[in-house]
Structure 1
Amino acid sequence: MKSDSVVPARRDGNAVLERADSVVLLNPDRLSVQQQALILIGSAFEVWAAVDERRTIVEICELLGERYGKAASELEHDVFSLLVRLQSLGFVEFGDVRSVDTQNVSECRSQFRVRRDSGPAGEQQWGSGVSWN
């Protein structure tokens, strides 16, 4: 995938509750599978907040890189992995779905995929064990 040309977008039809430092997501089409809200916190929330239907994946990485003093290339794997996970849950779509490299998706070991905690009401919280500070 050429992440410098792919623009992720939030999918319509989802319940979204944005807070100052987190977002609660629920996909009504996946209630039988998801069965609980998804909460994005920390850097996962910052990636979500940067998805605005204008920025490419690389531009999102550059924006976050400026905030954390990191090169965009250092963040690209984690950002891409999170966006692909959000796509699989129906929260994000890519401008050209055929350009997503699905062969490498199953091999991703990003901490976004493996850290899933239950929140106070049993919601899934996706933080990133990734600290870019």
Structure 2
Amino acid sequence: MTQPLARTPGLAEVTADDHATVLNLPRIEEQQVPYAFEGTAFEIWARIDGTRTEAQIVTELAEAYEVVPDEIAPEVRAFVARLAELGLVAE
């Protein structure tokens, strides 16, 4: 994906140093539950800021965890796709 990843407008979020809890207010009628992101999920979520592309996030995480980008790219892609399904990220 070459477009920067952005969070869906209208989310409610509480963030600490190492975790975030997110509620999709526009979908509240669908009985959405809060989503808690910790560990690498939080690291990905924190980087979805409307300025970074998926490839940039993969590169940053690979450097932070000292792994080859190709090793983590599929997991990042799958997580971003799941966030999009949940309506948390606009792809």
Taking structure 2 as the reference length, the TM-score comes to 0.90
2:63 aligned residue: 66
Equivalent residue number for residue 50 of structure 2: 53
Task: Measure, in 2, the Cα distance between the counterparts of 1:34 and 1:80.
Answer: 26
Structure number with the bigger relative contact order (C-alpha 8 A, sep ≥ 6) is 2
Q: Structure 1 regions of 5+ residues with no counterpart?
A: 95-133
1:27 aligns with 24
Please state if 1:11 is matched with 2:44: no
For the pair shown, the structure with the greater C-alpha radius of gyration is 1
Percentage identity across paired residues of the two chains: 33
Runs of 4+ aligned residues of structure 1 deviating over 6 Å after TM superposition are none
- What are structure 2's unaligned runs of at least 5 residues? none
What secondary structure sits across from 1:60 in the alignment? helix
Instruction: After TM superposition, give the deviation of residue 35 of structure 1 in Å.
Output: 3.6
2:3 and 2:53 in contact (8 A); partners too: yes
DSSP 3-state at the match of 2:72: helix
Q: Distance in 2 between matches of 1:9 and 1:35?
A: 20
The answer to whether residue 86 in structure 2 is matched with residue 89 in structure 1 is yes
**Partner-residue secondary structure (3-state), 1:82:** helix
**Greater per-residue helix proportion:** 2
Cα RMSD for the two superposed structures: 1.3
Q: Deviations over 1:4-62 (max 9, x none)?
A: x1321111101111111111010122224344211011000000011121211111000
Q: What is the SS of the residue equivalent to 1:86? A: helix
Tell me, in whole angstroms, the C-alpha distance in 1 between the residues paired with 2:7 and 2:74. 19
Is contact 2:24-2:32 (8 Å) kept?
A: no
